[in-house]
Amino acid sequence: MTDAKKTARFIIHGRVQGVFFRDTARQVARRLNIKGSAINLLDGTVEIVAEGTPEAVKKFQSWLMIGPDMATVEKVEVVGIEYHLEFKDFKIG
């Protein structure tokens, strides 16, 4: 078993604000033991930083491409982050 962590930044495009995207993402992240944050950006996208095992981050990314029922995800941009931020939980802002 490895303690390797992966940190990734995602920008989610589409109908993703005002549809419980961030709160649902927090619930999914907690189930996957992912730490990080989710915030609404001024351009209507949602930015998520996720840190966890590579497998958990991959599962989380798969969920981000679908989102909650009321969302319509058009695109998920993925930006790898080389450093670890050591989040203690998954926060929404």
List 9, 22, 26, 31, catalytic entry: 22
β strands within the chain, DSSP E: 6-15, 35-40, 46-52, 72-81, 90-92
Whole-angstrom distance, CA of residue 2 vs CA of residue 4: 5
Neighbours of 68 (CB within 10 A): 17
Question: Catalytic: 22?
Answer: yes
Question: Catalytic: 15?
Answer: no
List 9, 26, 33, 40, catalytic entry: 40
Catalytic residues: 22, 40
